[in-house]
Amino acid sequence: MNYRHAFHAGNHTEVFKHAALTLILEHLRQKPKPFAVLDSHGGIGVYDLQSDEAMRTNERDAGVNKVFGRPLSSAPMYSNVLESLNEQDLRFYPGSPELVRRALREDDRLIVCELHPEDGAALKQRYRRDCRVYVHHRDGYETIGAMLPPAERRGLVFIDPPFEGKDESNRIAKALKSGFRKWATGIYAIWYPIKDTTLGDSVSNAVRDAGFKNAIRAEFCPFRCDGVTLAGSGMAICNPPWTLEERLQRLCAELAVLIGGDFASWAVEPIPVDQAA
């Protein structure tokens, strides 16, 4: 499965994923204590929707085009960032590093990884003047083992891989085990595309196997799952804020109206764990 960010910027999976991310960021901002965010696959930060890559697929038509100018009551931070990047017409789309950066306060930090050399260079150039943002040209999975726990002892690990390799599920599982050993109390959010239930089940199993006792699985699909086309996407969230499940339900319900099709579906539910393990 090829899911490089630039080709899919602003599509329906990006809208769900990034709106959900801002719900976690809003929670982290509620307390004065600083927080850190580790973004494992940063991309380039902000995407030009008129670039060759974005125009080649035009996936924004089934995603951000349907929510721009129609602020999400369930995810106000997401809508605010989107509006602030664009004056009247939709041209730029914020990736996860940009959404996080705009949520940072003076003492908060963003550690963002990007392995692709050109994208990593573009990311460093974009945030070179922001002392709160640390860009690393390295494997994001390895960083989870190397840079946790953060000095702040509070924050989020955001795992958003492109799912280009066949071993992606195994790498997620190993990263979660490493993360749990080093920082069991951190929030972890893992995104995955949905064609069928395979990846979602695999990620849920990885969460259980890592040792997390409190996690939820949220999925939003504007289209019917047929095992072939990209129907939607999901997120597994470990150690979720106590209000997050309800807020994700509200987000999915709102997105179902705005960008959902005749076969739209969504679900937000706890990931069962073996309490005796």
Q: What integer pLDDT is reported at residue 162 of this predicted model?
A: 86
pLDDT surpasses 60 at 3: no
Cα distance between residue 172 and residue 163, in whole Å: 10
Cα-based distances in Å from 73 to 79, 99, 113, 178, 232: 9, 17, 31, 36, 21
* Average pLDDT score over residue span 161-189: 94
Q: Which residues, 6+ apart, have CB-to-CB distance to 58 below 8 Å? A: none
Cα-based distances in Å from 129 to 96, 132, 229, 254, 274: 18, 9, 40, 37, 46
Split at pLDDT 50, 70, 90, the class of 4 is: low
In 3D, which of 133, 123, 157 has the Cα closest to residue 235?
A: 157
* Average pLDDT score over residue span 198-205: 96
pLDDT surpasses 90 at 256: yes
Determine which one of 130, 160, 167, 226 is catalytic: 160
Q: Is 262 a catalytic residue?
A: no
Q: What integer pLDDT is reported at residue 55 of this predicted model?
A: 85
Q: What integer pLDDT is reported at residue 7 of this predicted model?
A: 75
Q: pLDDT tens, 26-66?
A: 999 999 999 999 999 999 999 999 998 888 888 989 999 99
Q: What integer pLDDT is reported at residue 264 of this predicted model?
A: 94
pLDDT surpasses 50 at 160: yes
pLDDT surpasses 50 at 252: yes
Q: pLDDT tens, 99-146?
A: 999 999 999 999 999 999 999 999 999 999 999 999 999 999 999 999
Q: What CATH number labels 5-270?
A: 3.40.50.150
